[in-house]
């Protein structure tokens, strides 16, 4: 089985590497968490193109918040996840004329919520692991062949193995920059 996986991986990488475009994403996040206050943080991602319209990407995010800061019942919590997914960029001629691209992605992966009351005498950090499903849609502007700022809007829901007191789900907003680091990108527009 390991040999078969290795052979398939080599074939897949050799096919995609001849025209694949590799990229790194860096973004700031605002994530609704359902019953808790929203968390803010950031994410880093890496990916490559499978076809002209389809990308594979892996993203890791960490965001946190503190409720009732400075009070005796102060509550600190953070939410993190790592997802893998497929990003589809449909060809829209009107947008492409201005180097703007509409991107949509579907992602899944592990997630964790951690929380504690740091000022309580018997304070104990509690965490719960599960998995997250998310959908993103947004616009990307190719400033140059190597730098592309973007804005995404999405929805996520985390599922936990055991019963947890809060439901982690809601809207998420991200603004970031995609850095293209390898591969060949063909453009008709004049780039600097």
Residue 187 belongs to a domain: no
The model's pTM is: 0.80
Quote the pLDDT of residue 151: 97
CA angle 92, 147, 105 (to 5 degrees): 50
Residue 29 belongs to a domain: yes
Q: Which domain holds residue 120?
A: 21-182
Residue 2 belongs to a domain: no
Task: Give the separation between CA 58 and CA 105, rounded to whole angstroms.
Answer: 11
Of 129, 128, 132, the C-alpha closest to 109 is 132
Beta carbons within 10 angstroms of residue 171's beta carbon: 12
Task: Give the separation between CA 160 and CA 3, rounded to whole angstroms.
Answer: 34
Residue 157 belongs to a domain: yes
- Written as tens digits, the pLDDT of the chain (192 aa) is 455 555 555 555 555 445 568 999 999 999 998 878 899 999 999 999 988 899 999 999 999 988 888 777 778 889 999 999 999 999 999 998 899 999 999 999 999 888 887 666 666 778 888 899 999 999 999 998 889 999 999 999 988 876 655 678 999 999 999 999 876 555 554 454
How many domains does the structure of the chain reveal? 1
Quote the pLDDT of residue 3: 57
Residue 44 belongs to a domain: yes
Residue 87's CATH number: 2.40.160.20
Residue 4 belongs to a domain: no
């Amino acid at each position: 089985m390991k040999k078969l996986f290795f052979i398939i991986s080599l074939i897949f990488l050799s096919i995609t590497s001849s025209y694949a475009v590799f990229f790194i994403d860096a973004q700031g996040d605002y994530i609704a968490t359902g019953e808790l206050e929203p968390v803010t943080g950031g994410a880093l991602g890496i990916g490559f193109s499978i076809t002209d319209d389809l990308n594979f990407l892996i993203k890791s995010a960490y965001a946190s918040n503190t409720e009732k800061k400075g009070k005796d019942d102060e509550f600190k919590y953070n939410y993190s996840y790592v997802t893998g997914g497929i990003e589809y960029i449909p060809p829209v001629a009107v947008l492409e004329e201005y180097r703007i691209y509409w991107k949509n992605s579907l992602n899944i992966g592990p997630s964790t919520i951690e929380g504690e009351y740091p000022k309580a005498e018997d304070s104990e950090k509690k965490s719960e692991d599960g998995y997250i499903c998310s959908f993103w849609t947004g616009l990307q502007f190719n400033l140059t062949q190597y730098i592309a700022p973007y804005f995404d809007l999405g929805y996520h829901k985390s599922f936990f193995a055991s019963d947890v007191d809060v439901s982690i789900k809601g809207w998420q907003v991200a603004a970031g920059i995609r850095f293209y680091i390898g591969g060949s990108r063909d453009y008709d527009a004049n780039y600097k």
